[in-house]
Chain A
């Protein structure tokens, strides 16, 4: 896999560095080949797999068999509703996939799919104690993000908007505040609808972007995956380059004084 990130500008989470700042999910593609093509085009740092929704036996042509050797897998606890469920699922993933990294997902409400903050904090604490590298999917709330980091989360993953909506970042102020105050990397998770949303997340100061549906359900997943890779890179570069201040008054970009004949 070739790196597209600028040299020396990798994403660092816990003790690992990644060339890419894009994380991609594996659900909902028209078929496995389209998924593999999208992954190749996205060149993601990490690839998420839902432990509760797949078989962990790496039988021929299973998801784990197809991508396990090629990508760094980040198992998630999607479908878990209690701390106990999430901890057991993380342990299962550790055993089957030989990774102590876990994207912690604890949903509090089936309608909005918002995280359950109380349980998230407890599960984070428990999993960190058990030696896991924990990346919790959380609310776009600077206070709960701060608490998660204090409990030992390796990164925080605030939502841009509810899972699967594609509404983009509905509270850019909150995401920017989280990025300013967070002592650990901030990965924007959920709600990305198109490439400009991913670029915006990076411009707001996020360290990475995790997305799935925007690629998997587009009319051309491979092309959208490539677009997302470029958008994350563009947003990151724009952030590092520094946007100009916004002005109310127009100002010509070419000087008006000292023109020949003027």
Chain B
């Protein structure tokens, strides 16, 4: 999801600005990547609907709507009937909905496939299924990485290990990104691609639904502070199925394609750590939480610019790792 708008939350104004910027970069980024790779990344611009199924939901939706409108986000309030004209398979008792035309989606798996192809075509070398044992630092400067027993010297290392970013050995304390895993259970249902039940991304109470172009309907996601526990649970899967069924009753006939667990790389303020670190040559691109795909273009642009020119882009200046240490000092 590329949802800077309807995911904006209180206390996250700087993150909203970054999300918004990256969202604006997305159409051109997708077009460039598709042209270079010859692959579709499944970019869809139908927009996002947030739906309310009863009176309590409407009050909650209005509360969020008022907050997000106060940030200047373009949202439209729809009656239940208006929302069902756009998405006829939504529950008949739908009470109201908010439409965000600017919140789009891209297929994360296709995106990675396309990025991989263009990276290799450009001469990049990819070591897959090769965990990084350590980052090597010599005299305050990055010297390379260790892949198993093999040492790979490098002038610049970008730490982009997602939820595992804090686990990599070899870094001094101040350069270890404060990232924790935030567990999410998800599943995919299979719709008839020729007659899909939905075309917009839909946020219903407790669950979101993302219809892909190939007929897959992604249903997500739980948010659990359980470390790296990777079990699918009855309660988690039940919550997802109950949530999707309440919003779109027609899903009960769909086959389940897949169920899985993922780990968001969470930081304290849900915002990423981008740019230089205490260790010269070590560049951070981690802690993106649920916004990794949304923030891909701005991360790629700003990080590569820093590596090539040494300039820290204004857009990422508020997102240095130093903000956490500064904060701790303030509180002490």
A interface, CB within 8 angstroms of B: 30-34, 36-37, 40, 53-55, 57, 59-63, 66, 218-222
Contacts and interface: CB of A to CB of B under 8 A. Distances in A.
B211 interface: no
Contact of A33 (B67, B166, B268): B268
B10 A63 contact: no
- The interface size bin for chain B is 20 to 34
A243 to B, nearest CB: 32
Contacts of A222: 11
B270 interface: yes
B11 A34 contact: yes
A53 B12 contact: no
A53 B67 CA distance: 28
Interface in B32-75: 63, 67
B13 to A, nearest CB: 11
Given A33-B269, A34-B11, A60-B180, A55 B166 contact: no
A60 B331 CA distance: 18
B11 A62 contact: no
B183 to A, nearest CB: 9
Shortest 6 CB-CB distances between A and B: which pairs?
A61-B180, A30-B9, A34-B11, A31-B270, A33-B269, A55-B227
Given A53-B224, A53-B225, A55-B225, A61 B166 contact: yes
B266 A61 contact: yes
A222 B13 CA distance: 14
B268 A32 contact: yes
B178 interface: yes
Contacts of B269: 31-34
Nearest to A164: B56
B226 interface: yes
Contact of B12 (A31, A59, A60): A31
A61 B229 CA distance: 16
Contacts of B9: 30-31
A225 to B, nearest CB: 12
Contacts of B225: 53-55, 62-63
Contacts of B268: 31-33, 36, 61, 66
Given A30-B270, A31-B270, A55-B229, A37 B11 contact: yes
A59 B11 contact: no
A61 B10 contact: no
A57 to B, nearest CB: 6
Given A31-B268, A53-B224, A55-B225, A219 B10 contact: yes
A148 B166 CA distance: 46
Contacts of B224: 53
A209 B269 CA distance: 27
